[in-house]
Amino acid sequence: MMLIFACEYLLGWVEINSFFKSNIPDVPFYSGIISSFFMFFLVSIYEETFSRGYQLRNLAEGFNLKFLSPTTAVILAYIVSSSFFGLLHAGNPNSTFISTFNLIITGLFLGLGIILTGNLSLSIGIHITWNFFQGNVFGFPVSGSSTPASFIAITQKGNDLITGGKFGPEAGLIGLFAVLLGCVLIFAWVFYTRHEIKLKSCLADFSPPGSLVLEKPSTDADAD
């Protein structure tokens, strides 16, 4: 998001109006920042838990059929859940066909962490910081809506096809470029931390409720 802002500023596509700006009358700046952070924190956890933790995992289990490999099942679930994620934002203010398409790609970006690591932490962390820095630090709209406060207040200029206009950078080519760059960085981070790039096909494995058997702790009597 910092790269997006820097590029747009240097090219004259954003104009800085002020700093530490509250967008709601009678609401202090820091109150708006804190409330926005907690909102993005909770929304990101909810959306990632629903879209990736629940939908992707359950779809992968459902697609894991006799004629499909677990790897294929995970890939199909990854694509379908990301598509649904983008369509969920189609009704947002100022949305367009391009914004919906780009958010499907963003869903792939956010889902990359779980299919490569098997956990949601990377997806949630990226989602929180992406939204917070986009809206509350650099003053862009977030999925078509403005935030209560921002460290930098801007006026958006430039071609909407590139910048995303009133929807935010996700609806523009510059946002799409940032998402693709983010995917490359995720691959690099996973390889650096795990020394391999491997799809977690285990996401397609189904474990029925109650199938977990706890090991019985040993006692002195058992030892005798």
Q: Give 138-170 pLDDT, tens digit per residue.
A: 999 999 899 999 999 999 999 999 999 999 999
pTM score = 0.86
pLDDT of residue 150: 95
The Cα angle at residue 69 between residues 66 and 75, in degrees rounded to 5: 130
Q: Give 80-123 pLDDT, tens digit per residue.
A: 999 999 999 998 999 999 999 999 999 999 999 999 998 899 99
What percent of the chain is predicted at pLDDT more than 70?
92
pLDDT of residue 209: 61
pLDDT of residue 141: 94
Domains in the chain: boundaries: 2-205
Handedness of CA 119, 122, 125, 127 (dihedral sign): negative
Distance separating alpha carbons of residues 188 and 89, to the nearest angstrom: 29
Q: Which helix (H) or strand (E) holds 151?
A: strand 149-156
Distance separating alpha carbons of residues 16 and 10, to the nearest angstrom: 11
Q: Are 164 and 175 in contact (CB under 8 A)?
A: yes
